[in-house]
Structure 1
Amino acid sequence: MLSTAVAATVSAVLVAPSESAVPGGDPTLAGGGRVQSFWLHLNSTPVSEIDLFTEARRRSHIVLNAWEGSLVPRLKAMNPAVQVFVYKDLSSTRSYACRNGIDDAQLPTGVGYCEAEKNHPEWFLLDPRGRRFEYSGYSGHWQMDVGNTAYQNAWATRVIEDSTASRFDGVFMDNALFPCDAYHPGVCPAKYPTDAAFQQAYKSMLANTRDEFVAAGLKTVANLSNARLHTGAWDAYTEHLDGGFDEWWLTFDDDNLLPEYAEGWSRQVAEIASNEARGKLTWVQPHFTAGNDRAFRYALAGYLMVNGGHAAIAEIEETDRYDDASPWHPEYNWDLGTPSGPYRSVARNVFRRDFSCGMVLVNANPTGSRSVTVKLGSPHVDERGMVVKSVSLSGTSGSILRRFC
């Protein structure tokens, strides 16, 4: 993937100066050369005190389940700056969280199944034949009518009560959906028969509950998976949020890396750019197996192309396996310094962004396309510690480079 080594391996450690602000410059560029990472701990697996300490110190955001509230003060004691969010599904109630007619005290949702079944059956979303929707592939997840104002109010009230009682910093809202047949392919709700109608229901819920979360001092980040496939949807939803999570970021598995096209690479990286311009958070999650350097660098270089200090990245190997924190890479400790500006095109679908202490490159042409060689203009140090003056990138690959500062 990389080429043209012009000197021996660098043995000295490169340390770039830390820059948290750009005096007199564009505030969206501040911190762009430093990586932030997050941890979704959603499978309720035991966590050692050492792991808690390690991850509290190096992650910007951690997401827990509602019943793990006792971890919040421990994480805060280890690092007062870490932001801890609670998981809550926007779109479902869970029958498995109801036992003997009584909902669990701490729920993964905002509304209990037993309560809705008994007192508000109208909150369940129905198909054209009047049947309730159970998520395909997720037993015991029953889809709710997010456009129902009473459901919206109940959801927000109970989530805020639970979150503030456990002193969470924010709420991670899972399943802010876009296609009307999400979780039941080919069948849309009778009430929302089109994607436009379905999305309007979600925008209504996010807008109508926004002031309550702001007043409670809770930040909100929603799972906006596949927003790139729906024009304008990312901005329309995040307008009423503090941030967005893209569950499938640039690399979908080891052999499926997102190239440039109308709904491809640039559409997805624009999510971060848009949020940075508005001071909002973005969490992105590439999928690949451990040790896949090509996929890792493609995802990380794409992230750094638009990072301005509000975005964070964490990979996942196995879908929905949210237990141990994702691997920590040496590149996460690098500081490329301040970006000189936005990324730019240097060849067809090949992009470059310069920093005061480094550079990132991406070839977003399809996998298998010919390699493109980019001349750097000055010596840089690649990921292997080699000094290079040019880099050769095949389709869907990237590089993170440092220079002597």
Structure 2
Amino acid sequence: MSNRTETHPARWRLWSMALSLAALLPTAASSADHAGQLYLDYAEVPLITRHAGAHQWMVVQSYMRVHVDIAQLKAANPGMRVFMYFETAGAYDLPPSEEPWPSGVSYRWVKANRPEWIVKDRAGRPITFWGGELYLYDVGNKAYQDEWARRAIDYAKTGGFDGVFADDVNMGESFRSTGWSGTSPKYPTDLSWTQATESFLNNVAPKLRAAGIALLPNVASAWNSDRATQVRWAKIAGAYAREHYQSWPNGDAPGEYDPNKGLLGGADWAWMSALHRDIVAARVPFYAFPHAGGWQAIDKMRYTRASYLLWYDPALAGGYAYATGGGPHTGQDPYNAAWNFDLGAPTGPAVQRSSGVWARSFARGTVVVDSNTKTATVTP
């Protein structure tokens, strides 16, 4: 998923993701109306129906329709929307029997039928990314864009999904120089890839919208990225998703796993908050999901959820999920009162109490976030 500056297993990377458009907006103004979940691993299939009534939206893999009756799931909770995960920038080299996996377009099909869609390095070798297992596709190629949109619409409609979660909608500076196995003559600069990605959105978003399918791009950007571009992308798509919201998934040292570490604070927290506010100010729903943080990471759950609520606009909705799939706690139920609380509707905007400390009041309580100490309190 997005914003990778640290090393992650490639398959974990592919399973990261969250969602939506106007179809996702709830009718009530509760602070829990945006709560949802991402179930993107085989081990999580049993969890999909466990808390359906508590979730307003879900993101699942397209193949999960084989294991879960999507129509029955939605019928049990009529207000819920279910979204399908679809990779945009590449694919694993998988046999045909595994084509339902997350890649929007099968690598072996592309290799056999449209090899020009595979991005090559200066020596003519296919470029790989995120650990070397995914092959890079030419997101700026209109024919590829058209085929991706066609398959996304077809898979979503036949599978009973309300929308598509598009992963790896990445800005060049967060993706090209950190994850690619080689240099592409066609995309030699960060800006060239950013422009190609924007052309993808400009072509694909109207097609999905016309088909009645919501689009949510999971956008990766570096800390020095210009926020104006991200706001523009959010407007094009009608929604914006941010993986690793106010946090990283692991501890601070290689090989360390402490679920309460990796929280963003200080200037990093302020940057993420400013991005959140910019997109909300543009009247676009903002979706946030800290990823692979550990099913008992209580402090992380509370800190990231409280941070999200500071800028949450009930008129726009948006979404928050605490996802654990892909990491050491895959298959563990992430449902927890530390993030599944409901304080009712906000009674006013967030207020800065001091440098790095913000608070917001709701009908049934208050959240206070101290980005200096990376802590949060929720007072009913």
**Is 2:107 aligned against 1:113?**
yes
Bigger shift: 108-117 or 85-94? 108-117
Bigger shift: 313-322 or 120-129? 313-322
Say if 2:305 and 2:339, in contact at 8 Å, map to a contact too: no
* Distance change (3 Å), C-alpha of 1:166 and 1:296: closer
Whole-Å Cα distance in 2 between the matches of residues 322 and 244 of structure 1? 26
Please report how far the alpha carbon of residue 31 of structure 1 lies from its aligned counterpart in structure 2 after TM superposition. Answer: 2.6
Whole-Å Cα distance in 2 between the matches of residues 329 and 33 of structure 1? 15
Which string of whole-angstrom CA distances, capped at 9 and with x for unpartnered residues, describes residues 301-354 of structure 1? 101111123233232456557954752222555432332332122111111222
2:203 to 204, 208, 213: 208
* Corresponding residue number in structure 1 for 2:129: 135
1:150 to 112, 123, 143: 143
- Greater strand share, 1 or 2? 1
* Corresponding residue number in structure 2 for 1:343: 350
* Distance change (3 Å), C-alpha of 1:226 and 1:399: farther
Equivalences, count: 338
1:241 to 225, 237, 244: 237
Please report how far the alpha carbon of residue 175 of structure 1 lies from its aligned counterpart in structure 2 after TM superposition. Answer: 0.9
* Corresponding residue number in structure 2 for 1:396: 374
Whole-Å Cα distance in 1 between the matches of residues 91 and 58 of structure 2? 23
Say if 2:343 and 2:366, in contact at 8 Å, map to a contact too: yes
Say if 2:90 and 2:103, in contact at 8 Å, map to a contact too: yes
SS at match of 1:45: helix
Identity %, equivalent residues: 26
Report the structure number with the largest CA radius of gyration.
1
Bigger shift: 202-211 or 119-128? 119-128
2:270 to 244, 266, 269: 266
Gaps spanning 5+ residues in structure 2: where?
A: 1-24, 251-259
> What letter matches 1:301 in structure 2?
A
Bigger shift: 115-124 or 198-207? 115-124
SS at match of 2:82: strand
SS at match of 2:185: coil
> What letter matches 2:246 in structure 1?
L
> What letter matches 1:397 in structure 2?
T
1:42 to 40, 62, 74: 40
* Distance change (3 Å), C-alpha of 1:206 and 1:164: same
* Corresponding residue number in structure 2 for 1:24: none
* Corresponding residue number in structure 1 for 2:153: 160
SS at match of 2:45: coil
Say if 2:35 and 2:320, in contact at 8 Å, map to a contact too: yes
2:263 to 254, 257, 260: 257
Whole-Å Cα distance in 2 between the matches of residues 175 and 321 of structure 1? 23
Please report how far the alpha carbon of residue 33 of structure 1 lies from its aligned counterpart in structure 2 after TM superposition. Answer: 3.0
* Corresponding residue number in structure 2 for 1:289: 294
Whole-Å Cα distance in 2 between the matches of residues 209 and 311 of structure 1? 21
1:330 to 334, 337, 361: 337
Aligned-residue RMSD, C-alpha = 2.8
* Distance change (3 Å), C-alpha of 1:286 and 1:157: closer
TM-score normalised to the size of structure 1? 0.75
**Is 2:42 aligned against 1:54?**
no
Which string of whole-angstrom CA distances, capped at 9 and with x for unpartnered residues, describes residues 183-228 of structure 1? 6358442211222111111010011111110111111112223455
Say if 2:240 and 2:284, in contact at 8 Å, map to a contact too: no
* Corresponding residue number in structure 2 for 1:355: 362
Say if 2:348 and 2:360, in contact at 8 Å, map to a contact too: yes
* Corresponding residue number in structure 1 for 2:8: none
Moved over 6 A (4+): none
Whole-Å Cα distance in 2 between the matches of residues 350 and 159 of structure 1? 42
Whole-Å Cα distance in 1 between the matches of residues 308 and 197 of structure 2? 27
Which string of whole-angstrom CA distances, capped at 9 and with x for unpartnered residues, describes residues 259-296 of structure 1? 121xx112212344344441424132255334333322
> What letter matches 1:128 in structure 2?
R
**Is 2:71 aligned against 1:73?**
yes
> What letter matches 2:243 in structure 1?
E
Say if 1:270 and 1:306, in contact at 8 Å, map to a contact too: no
* Distance change (3 Å), C-alpha of 1:195 and 1:36: same
Whole-Å Cα distance in 1 between the matches of residues 337 and 224 of structure 2? 33
Bigger shift: 264-273 or 203-212? 264-273
* Corresponding residue number in structure 1 for 2:21: none
* Corresponding residue number in structure 1 for 2:19: none
* Distance change (3 Å), C-alpha of 1:75 and 1:307: same
Gaps spanning 5+ residues in structure 1: where?
A: 1-26, 366-394
Say if 1:125 and 1:144, in contact at 8 Å, map to a contact too: yes
Whole-Å Cα distance in 2 between the matches of residues 135 and 186 of structure 1? 6
Bigger shift: 234-243 or 146-155? 234-243
- Greater helix share, 1 or 2? 2
